[in-house]
Structure 1
């Protein structure tokens, strides 16, 4: 059952609520989105809810990065072994990596600018959107949630913050890749050995090439869950405001002009 279901009578919509999550457009800083694409291609597009493009770029980053040994070269560079960093790079794969990496940054920036313009137009149209969706597998509805809790759950496990705010598609994707990164980097095994006091063994067991993926994934999960919780809360207030205006505000209500600008007439 959908209340206020989008009926395609407007050119643009601000939000859409489905059983898989709440998708909305809002004003974003293009430079922040571009920065996330630079940190990890695909993240910028996922922040914009451009899932298909984001998934492709994310998987591309993992595969090409491992084939070209970019992360391994970064580790050697951090250690000051510049010659080893040069030797380990696979130029056959590296030359594929560079243009797509630049494209991810440029396209996320361009898309953000376009969506900001669309949001301004959609806000002026102020067309109604659905606030409740029920299906055979899930129920989703607009509701206020605590942004701090989103951050806390994301710290425990990337993806849980997205589950908390019902972003099912993004949550599944982040959780699956978090498990992959944890497994191949041996991060949890290293933490267990660290608690046992086996510092050298904990360090040696880690796979640095896979480990460097984890900080970006953690950072994205925290930022994405926090930002979307805040914006979802704003969306709830907007939907309630529109509902109250339609159901309870008299048609004759107006705001005075001129010297009566601060007076209300009913």
Structure 2
């Protein structure tokens, strides 16, 4: 018979929420890593912390303003030593507007990561509460062990598939749509086809450099994020199981840490 001696954990600080479409949870994050990803592409740091609305706003801002300012083209020409062409490709009217929100993304990502770590410590001290509403008429989600290498593999084959493997549907939709848009406007698939046929000049002419320079950030981040989430999902699964057995079966006189 289950023991009734354990007190029920408080729900003031919830550690994780399992819905039918994703698992929103807290764990320790290095604020400098969040800031770095925010610098690599505004919005990515917030995606790491499951701050989807802010991330979506920053990603759309990055698409629009970076394109109008010609930032990626200027970066490419600077890296290849074509400094005069880099200066000509940058639109100063949009470039100065770009800087403000870019710095905000880094600062806000760092600040929210620090606050998230504080909230996580409070949630652990409060009893590690997990809320679950994981069933709907369209989807079902559950905690369980998953393979981090499979998450990386599917993410490299097509960004977003690794997050589908993890049942993180909001992230998967954003990454799949994002990747499809960039692949279309960068013309990278025709360029790959022409490269395989050794038509290097045609491949270079087809490639849109501004859109193409977005691809490395997506590939690396999506694989990294899928791997981290898989590892943390597995840890969350163990903690949730330990908390459940402690609450339902462990005698109050035996205090074992999670």
Gaps of 5+ in 2: 1-8
Aligned residues: CA RMSD: 1.6
Q: Which residue of 2 aligns with 1:242?
A: 243
Residue correspondence of structure 1 range 98-177 to structure 2 within 5 A: 98-131=99-132, 133-177=134-178
Q: Tell me, which stretches of 5 or more residues in structure 1 are unaligned?
A: 1-7, 256-266
Does the CA-based 8 Å contact 1:131-1:142 persist in structure 2? no
Whole-angstrom distance in 2 between the partners of 1:24 and 1:205: 43
- TM-score of the superposition, structure 1-length normalised? 0.90
Is 2:51 the partner of 1:39? no
Q: Secondary structure at the match of 2:129?
A: coil
Instruction: Name the SS for the 2:120 alignment partner.
Output: helix
Q: Which residue of 1 aligns with 2:233?
A: 232
CA-CA distance at 1:131 after TM superposition: 4.8
Equivalents in 2 of 1:216, 1:84: separation in Å? 24
Separation (CA, whole Å) in 2 of partners of 1:254 and 1:155: 44
Distance 1:80 1:21, change over 3 A: same
SS of aligned partner of 2:134:
strand
3-state secondary structure, aligned to 2:116: helix
The structural deviation recorded for 1:154 is: 0.4
The count of corresponding residues between Structure 1 and Structure 2 is 249
Distance in 2, matches of 1:65 and 1:233, equals 37
In structure 1, how many angstroms separate the alpha carbons of the residues matched to 2:39 and 2:129? 36
| TM-score, scaled relative to structure 2 | 0.93
Structure 1 residue 25 displacement after superposition: 0.8
Shift of 1:244: 1.6
Cα separation, 2, equivalents of 1:146 and 1:132: 24
2:14–2:131 contact (8 Å) kept in structure 1: no
Give the Cα separation in 2 of the matches to 1:50 and 1:28.
Answer: 14
Please list the CA deviations of residues 200-241 of structure 1 after superposition, one character each: whole Å capped at 9, or x if unmatched: 222221100110011111111111111101001000000111
